[in-house]
Homo-oligomer: A and B are copies of this chain.
Amino acid sequence: MPIRTVVWGENVHEQTNRTVAALYPGGMHRAIADALNADAGISATTATLQEPEHGLPAARLAETDVLLWWGHAAHDKVDDAVVARVVEAVWAGMGLIVLHSGHFSKVFKRLMGTPCNLSWREAGERERIWLASRAHPIARGLPDHFEIEMEEMYGEPFGIPEPMETVFLSWFQGGEVFRSGVTWRRGAGNIFYFRPGHETYPTYHNPLVQQVLRNAVHWAHNPAPRIADATAAPNRPVGEALEPLTERGGKLHQPGEEGFR
C-alpha cells in the first residue's frame, strides 16, 4: 500500500501575491503533492488552512502516514486544537516533514521545545546544499551537492535542539550557512526539517528538491501500528508487580486511582 501522505499548505500568498500565484497556480501544496505522486509508493493529497479544521479532522489524521507542513504568514491562525491533534499524531507514529518557513509553525515549535529562530534575507541569492551524511535514505539518488539559484537566505544560529542526524548543510552567496536538513524522533514519530521553499521562487519545481521530499516521505514513514495511548501513564499496581513486592511506607494514592497530570 502506498504511503498515505497529506501536504498541508497555508495557501495565503498564493491568493494575495502575483509572483506566488504565477509560480504555483494550483497552490504550493498542489505542486508538492504532484511531485510526491510521481512516486508510485506515495499517495499524496492536500489540506489547507481555509478548510474546516484546516483540512485535518481527527479521522483524516488517523489515516495519514506522513504529513508535510508549509506555513508562513498565518502561523497564528492555526487553531490550537488542530495543533494539539497533529502533535499527538506525531507522538503516536505519524511522520512529519516541516518545510522552510514552517520552522515558526506552532506544530514545529511545540515538538522541538525551542524558539526555532534564525536570521533571514529575501534577495534571490544562490544556495548550495551539501550532503553531510553520505548514503542517508533522505539523500537517495542525490549528488554530494546541488544548487538552487534563487532562494531566501536562512542563517545560523538556528534555534533547534541538537538533531538526531544532520543530513544537509547550506552555503549562501551572501555569506551565511544553515543546517538545512535535520532529523529528530519525537515519541514514535520521525521528523524531518527541510529548509528550501520560499514562495516567490520556483523551488518546488526543482527536480532535486522534489527528490528530497519523496525520499523524506519514505524515511519518515513508521509502518508500525499507530500507538493508541501515546500519552498514557499507566499505574502498575502492587498486586500485579512482575517481581514479588510488599507495599511499604506512606501513601498518596488509593488503589485504582489515576495519577496526577
Contacts and interface: CB of A to CB of B under 8 A. Distances in A.
Interface of A: 13, 17, 19-20, 23, 72-75, 91, 93, 101, 104, 110-115, 117-125, 128, 130-137, 140, 144-145, 150, 153, 155-159, 161-166, 169-177, 179, 184-188, 199-201, 222-225, 227, 230-238, 241-243, 245-253, 259-261
B260 A174 contact: no
B162 A164 contact: yes
A246 B122 CA distance: 11
Contact of A128 (B175, B233, B246): B175
B91 A114 contact: yes
A132 B114 contact: no
A259 B72 CA distance: 9
A125 B200 CA distance: 32
A154 B231 CA distance: 15
Chain B CB within 10 Å — which of A111, A171, A186 has the most? Answer: A171
B112 A200 contact: no
B134 A247 contact: no
Nearest to A105: B261
Given A91-B159, A135-B227, A187-B134, A243 B113 contact: no
A121 B256 CA distance: 11
A115 B130 contact: no
A108 B45 CA distance: 35
Contact of A241 (B121, B130, B164): B121
10 contacts: A115-B187, A115-B231, A117-B230, A119-B234, A123-B246, A130-B177, A132-B158, A161-B184, A200-B249, A200-B251
Contact of A132 (B156, B172, B173): B156
B162 A165 contact: yes
Contacts of A163: 162
B119 A236 contact: yes
A150 B252 CA distance: 14
Contact of A245 (B123, B157, B170, B232): B123
Contacts of A252: 13, 17, 20, 122, 199-200
Contact of A173 (B130, B133, B245): B245
Nearest to A184: B161
A253 B19 CA distance: 12
